[in-house]
């Protein structure tokens, strides 16, 4: 199974790449079987992406990155927040892709920022972008502000999102997954025929059953019959 990570971090080291690595490790740990993990660092492709816009042809490194994304069984995309949205480099990379490349592909969206006030970038920028590209977006997006590193909650969000991506990847590739728990139906009661419920006058009450109809000896009493019983 092939998992591809797209990181738009600019610095080295980068909190964006750190989040991408943690999401990739958590996802790989949830997938049964070997995982072919590829990382696309957009900072190394910036010049080729710009040239692709002007001449229409991807360079060698950009072409290899596009091939990785196209053949991926699952995708993790992480961007830093610039001006309350994804970075221009991040958007430019997905602009050079063919419009059908991500159709039906599981995608986990994530972002990093200096403040928690930008956490909604996942919902107002990233999710609409990949919905437009017809990707299958995992329900849980992961945003990591500066104060989130080392704090409670981030690790849980990473694990939850990774688990959702792993399930989608397994489902769409037909990989084996643990079978759901089987619920054994209750054994039939070892009793005689059901006795109709009696009202205060000895007549059948609203909850009336008869030993005819269903195989277990019960039948559903029509509402009209229940009303007629009440009128007696």
Model confidence pLDDT, tens digit, residues 176-226: 444 444 434 444 444 444 444 444 444 444 444 444 444 555 566 676 777
d(CA 13, CA 147): 17
d(CA 15, CA 7): 10
The more confident residue out of 13 and 221 is 13
pLDDT band at 12 (very low <50, low <70, confident <90, very high): confident
What is the model's pLDDT at position 173? 73
Place of tokens 């009202």: 199
| pTM for this prediction | 0.74
| CB atoms inside a 10 Å sphere around CB 116 | 13
Helices (H) and strands (E) in the chain, counts: 8, 7
**In sequence order, what DSSP letters do the residues of 102-148 get, joined into one string?**
TTT-EEEEEEEESSGGGTTHIIIIIHHHHHHTT-EE-S--EEEEGGG
Which two three-digit tokens encode residue 114? 């200096």
CA 75 to chain CA centroid, nearest Å: 11
60: left (phi over 0), alpha (psi -120 to 50) or beta: alpha
Percent of the chain topping pLDDT 70: 77
What is the model's pLDDT at position 127? 97
* Residues 70, 80 contacting (CB under 8 angstroms): no
* Residues 209, 201 contacting (CB under 8 angstroms): no
What is the model's pLDDT at position 172? 82
Find the DSSP H helices in 135-199: 154-173
What is the model's pLDDT at position 205? 47
What is the mean predicted confidence (pLDDT) over 42-49?
A: 97
Q: What is the pLDDT of residues 112-160, one digit of tens each?
A: 999 989 999 999 999 999 999 999 999 999 999 999 998 889 999 999 9
């Amino acid at each position: 199974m092939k998992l591809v990570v797209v990181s738009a971090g600019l610095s080295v080291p980068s909190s964006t790449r750190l989040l991408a690595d943690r999401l990739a490790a958590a996802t790989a740990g949830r997938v049964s079987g070997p995982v072919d993990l590829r990382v696309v660092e957009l900072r190394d492709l910036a010049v080729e992406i710009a040239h692709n816009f002007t001449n229409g042809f991807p360079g060698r490194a950009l072409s290899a990155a596009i091939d990785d994304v196209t053949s991926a069984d699952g995708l993790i995309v992480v961007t830093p927040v610039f001006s309350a949205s994804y970075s221009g480099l991040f958007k430019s990379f997905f602009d050079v892709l063919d419009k059908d490349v991500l159709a039906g592909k599981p995608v986990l969206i994530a972002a990093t920022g200096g403040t928690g006030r930008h956490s909604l970038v996942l919902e107002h920028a990233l999710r609409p972008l990949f919905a437009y590209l017809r990707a299958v977006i995992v329900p849980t997006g992961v945003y990591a502000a500066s104060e989130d590193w080392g704090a409670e909650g981030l690790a849980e969000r990473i694990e939850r999102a990774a688990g959702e991506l792993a399930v989608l990847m397994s489902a769409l590739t037909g990989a084996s997954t643990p079978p759901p728990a089987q619920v054994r139906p209750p054994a039939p009661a070892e009793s005689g025929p059901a006795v109709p419920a009696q009202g205060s006058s000895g007549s059948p009450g609203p909850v009336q059953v008869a030993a005819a109809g269903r195989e277990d000896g019960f039948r559903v009493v029509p509402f009209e019959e229940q009303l007629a019983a009440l009128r007696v």
